[in-house]
A and B are shown apart, each in its own frame.
Chain A
Amino acid sequence: NAGVTQTPKFRVLKTGQSMTLLCAQDMNHEYMYWYRQDPGMGLRLIHYSVGEGTTAKGEVPDGYNVSRLKKQNFLLGLESAAPSQTSVYFCASSRGRTGWSRTEAFFGQGTRLTVV
């Protein structure tokens, strides 16, 4: 019963490098989200998806791209990493549909990304 799994858990990038963070959920959830968490701050929404093949921008989307080719996977890409993207990244999913099931999020364990 894995829930939400993020890969990798840690990564160090050089400025200008690219990488992809993978999020996989095995709960058949409709909605998936990518958040970033900076020191002393709460989570801020980067991008989200309400179903396979769909994506939408969140609060802080610049510098990131996402794809949801399969329902269970949500990928976050950084095309040209910058030091300002040093953060902890969380993926989350929710059952979707209506009511509280749409809003209660299940989180992965986070990815600590450092851009030097």
Chain B
Amino acid sequence: AQTVTQSQPEMSVQEAETVTLSCTYDTSENNYYLFWYKQPPSRQMILVIRQEAYKQQNATENRFSVNFQKAAKSFSLKISDSQLGDTAMYFCAFASNTNAGKSTFGDGTTLTVKP
């Protein structure tokens, strides 16, 4: 079974600064996908960024980028130029390509962006 660990329950960052959220996972599979989801106070789960394990290049999406270290099973999220609207809970998720697409989620990191 896969596990996803987010070791930082809470983090804060000043507006316009950069913050990195950590995620590690455990799997014996070689073909899988990793995701970061954002959950603002509205409760809606929003996909932030995804990474295919077979791709060595780190995914980027505007101010969001990942540092994917496959050998270390690490998948961190970097948010640059933090904005007040980035305040949310962030979930790291693992999904196997061979297991009906089911996702395993970490327990989340609550990020607060301070003005």
> Interface size bucket, A side?
20 to 34
Report yes or no: B43 in contact with A45, Cβ–Cβ below 8 A. Answer: no
Neighbouring B residues of A90 by C-beta, 8 Å: 45
Of all A-B residue pairs in the complex, the 7 with the closest CB atoms, nearest first, are A42-B105, A103-B95, A107-B45, A102-B101, A103-B101, A43-B105, A103-B33
How near does chain A come to B20, taking the closest CB pair, in angstroms? 19
Query: CA–CA, A109 to B102, complex, Å?
Result: 19
Q: Say whether B107 faces chain A, with CB atoms less than 8 Å apart.
A: yes
- Scan residues 6-49 of chain B and give those whose CB is less than 8 A from a CB of chain A: 6, 9, 33, 35, 42-47
Report yes or no: A100 in contact with B33, Cβ–Cβ below 8 A. Answer: yes
Neighbouring A residues of B50 by C-beta, 8 Å: 100, 104
Query: CA–CA, A44 to B93, complex, Å?
Result: 11
Q: A48-B100, A103-B103 known; A109 and B43 CB under 8 Å?
A: yes
Q: Which of A16-24, A64-72, A91-99 lies at the interface?
A: A91-99
- Scan residues 77-116 of chain A and give those whose CB is less than 8 A from a CB of chain B: 88, 90, 92, 94, 96, 98-100, 102-107, 109-110
Report yes or no: A42 in contact with B106, Cβ–Cβ below 8 A. Answer: yes
How near does chain A come to B12, taking the closest CB pair, in angstroms? 17
In the complex formed, the residue of B with least CB distance to A42 is B105
| B-side interface residues, number (CB < 8 Å) | 27
Offer 8 A-B interface pairs, CB within 8 angstroms, sorted by A.
A33-B102, A42-B6, A58-B102, A99-B52, A100-B50, A102-B95, A102-B101, A105-B95
Report yes or no: A42 in contact with B101, Cβ–Cβ below 8 A. Answer: no
Report yes or no: B91 in contact with A40, Cβ–Cβ below 8 A. Answer: no
Neighbouring B residues of A41 by C-beta, 8 Å: 107-108
In the complex formed, the residue of B with least CB distance to A100 is B33
- Scan residues 25-56 of chain A and give those whose CB is less than 8 A from a CB of chain B: 31, 33, 35, 40-45, 48, 50, 56
